Amino acid sequence: MNPGLKLLLVVIIALEISFTTSLIVNLVLIGFSIIYLLIHHISFKQFMGLILWPFFPAFGLFISQWFYGDAGIYFATILLTRIYAYVFIGATFTITTEFVDLALTLEQDFALPSKFAYGVLAAFNLIPKIRQEVQTIKTAALMRGTVLHFWSPQLYFKAILASIQWSQNLAEAMTSHGFVEDQPRTHYRVIKITAWDWIFFIGGLVIVNVMLFVIKL
């Protein structure tokens, strides 16, 4: 499915279940998302992470609503399953979608200005370099007898200075390769929205809305 339409579908479904109180629909969405992730060969470590990381906030919300709320255990269960529905529906996008494909389709099919698309793409690709730079700053500080923790302002200040220098170098590199803002350009890799993409998008919306309308439990 086209990454842009998939992102739009995930956002719409997440917003819709935010304003409904259907336990069964939440469970159906979780089950469908798990099947979708298994089809895309999600690893066991990723699957356990999706279950364990949201467990404490979800369980805390369940307990607080059950013991201190007015709606009882049924509504507490809805809130618990809603959190897991958010997590697993979001995972169907984040785990199965390449960020490069998303940036390209947003530029080509959703009229996102190229400067934003390539800017976000550049920032995403710089993440490994930023991690390396942070480690270099920590090591250099240790050689001077100073320990920089993740909450140390000096660490982030130096990382920001390095990022500013990289952004300038990146802008000059893009200009030297012929990038001109707001000018028509060809694409090495073209991503189009096919008829099947629209069928999956509209079909998914119709199925979810029918379930929300029919299933009241």
Q: Could you tell me the mean pLDDT of each successive run of 10 residues in the chain, 217 residues long?
A: 89 90 90 92 89 89 85 87 92 88 85 80 80 85 82 81 81 79 77 88 90 80
In the chain the first and final C-alpha atoms are separated, in Å, by 31
The two three-digit tokens of residue 73, written as one number: 């255990």
Give residue 34's pLDDT.
Answer: 93
Any domain includes 14: yes
Give residue 73's pLDDT.
Answer: 86
CA 110, 116, 122, 125 dihedral sign is negative
Domain of 93, in residue numbers: 3-102+191-216
Any domain includes 107: no
The two three-digit tokens of residue 40, written as one number: 């895309």
Give residue 133's pLDDT.
Answer: 83
How many structural domains comprise the chain?
2
**34 and 77 fall within a common domain:** yes
**88 and 30 fall within a common domain:** yes
**141 and 205 fall within a common domain:** no
**21 and 89 fall within a common domain:** yes
Give residue 164's pLDDT.
Answer: 81
Amino acid found at 140: A
Give residue 142's pLDDT.
Answer: 86
Any domain includes 184: no
**40 and 65 fall within a common domain:** yes
**33 and 95 fall within a common domain:** yes
> Exposed/middle/buried for 130, CB within 10 Å: 0-12, 13-18, 19+?
middle
Any domain includes 195: yes
Any domain includes 182: no
* Residue 187 DSSP symbol: -
**11 and 86 fall within a common domain:** yes
Any domain includes 82: yes
**171 and 199 fall within a common domain:** no
**90 and 195 fall within a common domain:** yes
Amino acid found at 196: W
Any domain includes 198: yes
Give residue 31's pLDDT.
Answer: 93
Any domain includes 186: no
